[in-house]
Amino acid sequence: MRTGLWAFLLLAAYPAASNPILGLPIDCTLGETCYIQQYVDRDPGEGVRDFTCGKLSYDGHKGTDFAVPTLEAMRAGVNVIASAAGVVRGVRDGVEDRVYGPDNAEAVKGRECGNGVVLVHEDGWETQYCHMKQGSVRVRSGERVERGDILGQVGISGKAQFPHVHLSVRRDGAVVDPFDTGSDATCDQVESSLWQEPITYAAGGLIDAGFTDHVPEFDAVQEGTAAAGHLPSDAAAIVLFVLAYGGRADDTLRLTIDGPTGRFMAQDMKLDRDQARLFRASGRRAGSGDWPEGTYSGEIILLREGQEIDRITTRITVK
């Protein structure tokens, strides 16, 4: 359960009359069932800078990544939708959904976008939607679509390491950041946004959390299958884990567990480096007797320079 304590920056600048007005490219609720993992890289050199001068990007990133929490959520089906009315210029389908890595880099070469769609709009504008689920693309070249029409579903095809849709916006072939169309990121002042509605900026956050009886593998956490439904009273351990994004060096993850008899565990974990996606886990091993039966509540808080960035809670029953 999320309590909704996010670091927000409200974007109130409106598009110029000649610019397209964009809706979200994904059918979800930002901050609840999806989140923005990375933005356009505004640094012209080898550094990284998003439109707020934060670090939610990577060198040379040319779009905005709208992500779903886990592979399990992806498989359940999350629609990719047209951000604006336009005509389909091109499509690709048939690329396998799998986490990108050294073992499949050669197979993905030249198809880094994976399964995707390109839409052409007026006045030289176009939008591109990448990494869609294999077999989900439902539009054809030459077809006219309206804002909100379903193009396919979120996947992890092409050069993708987490399930998301990568939205690129271009005008006359040049990349445009939909959050700030100015030529330079001004950090504290947005020149013009292309979004139909203001979108909140989260400086990092917590994606998913759960309990299990061991420290889980990262693959299981990303799959969304690591959490146990309940634990027996003779479980080998009670472990709380969390999946997070946008971690910065010196951030603190504060993990606490409260059980039927009071405070069960508390630990602060400081991050030693920037990490786009990460997980942490903490808990206690069983002693000589069984665990007290009842409800165990876990809470994780992400802190940056002493300020709370995000908070998430979860529960499990021991019986």
Rounded CA gap, 123 and 21, in Å? 13
C-alpha closest to that of 40 among 128, 148, 147: 128
**Residues in contact with 36: Cβ distance below 8 Å, sequence separation at least 6, in sequence order:** 30, 56, 64, 65, 66, 67, 199, 201, 202
Confidence (pLDDT) at 185: 59
C-alpha closest to that of 246 among 205, 214, 283, 282: 205
Confidence (pLDDT) at 186: 66
Residue 75 main-chain phi, psi, to 5 deg: -65, -30
Where in the chain is CATH 2.70.70.10? 1-203
The separation between CA 89 and the C-alpha centre of its own chain, rounded to angstroms, equals 27
Please state, as a whole number, how many other Cβ atoms lie within 10 Å of the Cβ of residue 192: 15
The tens digit of pLDDT for each residue in 58-117 reads: 999 999 999 999 999 999 999 999 999 999 999 999 999 999 999 999 999 999 999 999
Q: Is the pLDDT of residue 144 over 50?
A: yes
**Residues in contact with 163: Cβ distance below 8 Å, sequence separation at least 6, in sequence order:** 67, 68, 70, 71, 73, 74, 131, 154, 155, 156
Confidence (pLDDT) at 3: 46
pTM for the full predicted model? 0.90
Rounded CA gap, 225 and 90, in Å? 35
Where in the chain is CATH 2.60.40? 205-318
Instruction: Answer with the residue of higher pLDDT: 236 or 13.
Output: 236
Element housing 106 (H / E): helix 105-108
Q: Is the pLDDT of residue 39 over 90?
A: yes
Confidence (pLDDT) at 150: 98
Confidence (pLDDT) at 192: 84
What fold, for 205-318? Immunoglobulin-like (2.60.40)
Confidence (pLDDT) at 180: 92
Rounded CA gap, 270 and 305, in Å? 11
Q: Is the pLDDT of residue 247 over 90?
A: yes
Please state, as a whole number, how many other Cβ atoms lie within 10 Å of the Cβ of residue 111: 16
Are 268 and 252 within 8 A, CB to CB? yes
Q: In this structure, what token pair is assigned to residue 129?
A: 């939607």
Rounded CA gap, 269 and 252, in Å? 5
Q: In this structure, what token pair is assigned to residue 51?
A: 């439109």
Residue listed under structure tokens 């505004």? 42
The tens digit of pLDDT for each residue in 200-233 reads: 899 899 999 999 999 999 999 999 999 999 999 9
Contacts 24+ apart (CB under 8 A), 285-288: 285/236, 285/237, 286/234, 286/235, 286/236, 286/237
Kind of pairing between the strands at 174-175 and 205-212: unpaired
Q: In this structure, what token pair is assigned to residue 298?
A: 């876990």
Q: Is the pLDDT of residue 1 over 60?
A: no
Kind of pairing between the strands at 164-171 and 125-132: antiparallel
Confidence (pLDDT) at 85: 97
Rounded CA gap, 231 and 223, in Å? 20
Range with lowest mean pLDDT among 12-16, 47-51, 130-134: 12-16
The tens digit of pLDDT for each residue in 151-168 reads: 999 999 999 999 999 999
SS3 282: strand
**What average pLDDT score do residues 169-180 get?**
96
Overall residue count recorded for the chain in this entry:
319
pLDDT-based confidence at 20, cuts 50/70/90?
Answer: confident
In this prediction, what percent of the chain has a pLDDT beyond 90? 86
Confidence (pLDDT) at 16: 55
Chain-wide mean pLDDT for the chain?
92
Confidence (pLDDT) at 2: 53
Confidence (pLDDT) at 288: 87
SS3 277: strand
Kind of pairing between the strands at 144-145 and 86-92: antiparallel
In this prediction, what percent of the chain has a pLDDT beyond 70? 92
Rounded CA gap, 123 and 172, in Å? 8
Structural class in CATH, domain 1-203: mainly beta
